[in-house]
Amino acid sequence: MTTKFYLTTPIYYVNDRPHIGHAYTTILADVLARFHRQAGDEVFFLTGLDEHGQKVLQASQARGLTPQQHCDDLAPRFSQLWEKLGISNDDFIRTTQDRHKKVVQAVLRKVYEKGDIYQSEYEGWYSVAEERFITETEKESGEFRDVKMLKERNWFFRMSQYQQKLIDHINAHPQFIQPEHRKNEILGFLRQPLTDLCISRPKSRMGWGIELPFDTEYVTYVWFDALLNYLTGVGYLTEDDKFKKWWPASLHLLGKDILTTHSVYWTTMLFSLDLPLPETIFAHGWWMLGESKMSKSVGNVVNPLDLVDQFGVDPVRYYLMREMIPGQDAHFTMESFVKRFNSDLANDFGNLLNRVSGLIPKYFNAIVPEPGALTPEDQHIQTIAENLQNKVPGLIKELKVSEAIEEILQLIRAVNKYMEQQAPWKLAKENLPAAGRVLYVASEALRISALHLSPVMPAKTDTVLNVLGAKGSSPQWGGLKPGTKLGEHGALFPRIEK
């Protein structure tokens, strides 16, 4: 039976070009999507852009463009970057698309008719930077910038009435908010009374958004609009079969900065719509540069394209996946990038390929030799390779991508060590079949590690599998066929010299 797996990234604001933080979430989602497809699951992977609201409006004004011109100009920078990074998303949603505006307006009508939306005058602290009213406690925390007192007539969503239902849901579904410590933060937040959510902005103050269907003087608050992309993307209210097939989402992947909007605003919106909640919301940590979060407003961002142009796509994907433990923060440094590249990719993985593809042509006419009966040393390598099949899927399910990679690298390191001990280059002179056996075992382990690494480095592992004539083979031991002619290749990961 195939399992369906619907996963999403946040839809990013089009207020500037994408940086490595956006690339990280999107690559992580892509790696998960590829792992699931490899395991035989049916996957729908959605990403896209958040194009309404004040931040986008301000960014367009700063460039002297209309907001729509600004969005149309910047959107390709995201989609083209995703293409360059090998992102295998199934759809790319933009909130200014008609299909989305229709869903937002239909949802507003439904929620309004249900009696979950009401109008009221509200006076309170408003954070211009965050685009929302904040509580007194939040103001005192000092974490919000551009705070001012604002009095306005607005439309509100009765979020507060769903507070207990949400708490009960979180407690009854341990997988719902991940990692555990983030779930506890949300439960802590929910110990305070939940207020209702202001879901409108008067056009007189901020007109860039989707008009409320029941009051044309207002546009929809950007978060109420944006979160609904997860429904639009799978055909809510328009393509019933598609929607039935994919909803609820299996995984919403996001950074910890937007966990509250997802676990509180979004879930109560879904309650109001009588729709099931996503299975898991996973909040990863931040990429930091020095002591600060990498962000456009701080201005300390690393441009993923610069790295990719210099070192290639797969090493960047590898570094981001290996270096961050999802759930914790990670520090970006060029030193750690170069170190990972040289040690894991050039010395371990690339070196194993070079050995195999250097020795088999030299002693066996580039034909994969017959292994014959395996020795205990060979079987040790076989066991590590076979164990990966049990370990990797479990780790991926828990989003422990970094640990999964480390497991695969341990196989590669074990094979390199085995090669040094067995020294097939010496064996070839005394006992050619024994050299053949060792080279078979090493090539087979290389094939299996390349298959396991392929969701992380699709292009480079493709090269390895092509060399071994093993594209599309299964990760079971014995998939490499003796008699296969090896292909040729260039340097897989040329060492980065200082």
Q: Does 78 bind ligand ME8 (CB under 6 A)?
A: no
Extract the tokens encoding 372: 């014959």
Q: Which stretch binds ligand ME8 (CB under 6 A): 16-24, 356-364, 369-377, 425-433?
A: 16-24
Chain Cα centroid distance, residue 478: 33
Cβ closest to ligand ME8, residue 233 vs residue 436: 233
Cβ closest to ligand ME8, residue 317 vs residue 355: 317
Q: Which stretch binds ligand ME8 (CB under 6 A): 145-153, 191-199, 289-297, 484-492?
A: 289-297
38 exposed, middle or buried (CB, 10 Å; 0-12, 13-18, 19+)?
Answer: middle
Cβ closest to ligand ME8, residue 268 vs residue 443: 268
Q: Rule CB under 6 A: choose which of 5, 6, 7, 11 binds ligand ME8.
A: 11
Residues pairing with 156 in the sheet? 118, 198
Q: Does 197 bind ligand ME8 (CB under 6 A)?
A: no
Cβ closest to ligand ME8, residue 162 vs residue 287: 287
């780790």: which residue's tokens? Answer: 395
Assess contact for 244 and 235: CB atoms under 8 A.
no
Q: Which stretch binds ligand ME8 (CB under 6 A): 10-18, 102-110, 119-127, 240-248?
A: 10-18
Assess contact for 49 and 82: CB atoms under 8 A.
no
Please give the C-alpha separations between residue 379 and each of 111, 163, 221, 347, 445, in angstroms, as whole numbers.
Answer: 62, 57, 61, 24, 11
State the minimum distance, in angstroms, from the CB of residue 130 to ligand ME8: 10
């292909």: which residue's tokens? Answer: 487
State how beta strands 177-178 and 280-284 pair: parallel
Cβ closest to ligand ME8, residue 43 vs residue 93: 93
Cβ closest to ligand ME8, residue 231 vs residue 388: 231
Q: Rule CB under 6 A: choose which of 294, 404, 411, 446 binds ligand ME8.
A: 294
The residue among 97, 316, 344, 324 whose CA lies nearest residue 228 is 97
Q: Which stretch binds ligand ME8 (CB under 6 A): 22-30, 190-198, 354-362, 373-381?
A: 22-30
Number of residues that bind ligand ME8 (CB under 6 A): 21
Q: Does 77 bind ligand ME8 (CB under 6 A)?
A: no
Extract the tokens encoding 296: 């456009």
Cβ closest to ligand ME8, residue 155 vs residue 287: 287
Please give the C-alpha separations between residue 197 and each of 143, 264, 377, 482, in angstroms, as whole numbers.
Answer: 20, 10, 64, 65
Q: Does 453 bind ligand ME8 (CB under 6 A)?
A: no
State the number of CA atoms in the 13 A half-sphere of 436 facing the CB: 17
Q: Does 232 bind ligand ME8 (CB under 6 A)?
A: no
In the 3-class helix/strand/coil scheme, how is 174-216 assigned residue by residue?
A: CCCEECHHHHHHHHHHCCCCCCCEECEEECCCCCCCCEECCEE
């604001």: which residue's tokens? Answer: 13
Cβ closest to ligand ME8, residue 282 vs residue 418: 282
Q: Say how many Å lie between the first and final Cα of the chain, rounded.
A: 51
Report the helix count and the strand count for the chain, using DSSP H and E.
21, 16
Cβ closest to ligand ME8, residue 283 vs residue 438: 283
Cβ closest to ligand ME8, residue 162 vs residue 282: 282
Extract the tokens encoding 238: 């328009």
- Letters for 256-275 (x = contact with ligand ME8 by CB under 6 A, - = none) are -xx-----------------
The residue among 278, 230, 282, 207 whose CA lies nearest residue 47 is 230
Extract the tokens encoding 93: 């949603």
Rounded distance between C-alpha atoms, residue 290 and residue 313, angstroms: 24
Q: Does 21 bind ligand ME8 (CB under 6 A)?
A: yes
Q: Does 293 bind ligand ME8 (CB under 6 A)?
A: yes
State the minimum distance, in angstroms, from the CB of residue 24 to ligand ME8: 5
Cβ closest to ligand ME8, residue 51 vs residue 444: 51
**What 3-state class would DSSP assign to 132?**
strand
Q: Does 227 bind ligand ME8 (CB under 6 A)?
A: yes
- Letters for 43-62 (x = contact with ligand ME8 by CB under 6 A, - = none) are -------x------------
State the minimum distance, in angstroms, from the CB of residue 96 to ligand ME8: 13
Assess contact for 56 and 18: CB atoms under 8 A.
no
State the minimum distance, in angstroms, from the CB of residue 301 to ligand ME8: 8
State the minimum distance, in angstroms, from the CB of residue 457 to ligand ME8: 20
Q: Rule CB under 6 A: choose which of 104, 108, 226, 480 binds ligand ME8.
A: 226
287-289 sheet: strands from edge to edge: 292-293, 287-289, 330-331
Cβ closest to ligand ME8, residue 261 vs residue 466: 261
Residues pairing with 149 in the sheet? 125
Assess contact for 425 and 434: CB atoms under 8 A.
no
Cβ closest to ligand ME8, residue 206 vs residue 450: 206
Q: Rule CB under 6 A: choose which of 6, 25, 100, 219 binds ligand ME8.
A: 25
State the minimum distance, in angstroms, from the CB of residue 183 to ligand ME8: 17
Assess contact for 451 and 465: CB atoms under 8 A.
yes
Q: Does 295 bind ligand ME8 (CB under 6 A)?
A: yes
- Residue numbers of the site for ligand ME8 (CB under 6 A)? 10-13, 21-22, 24-25, 50, 226-227, 229, 254-255, 257-258, 286-287, 293-295
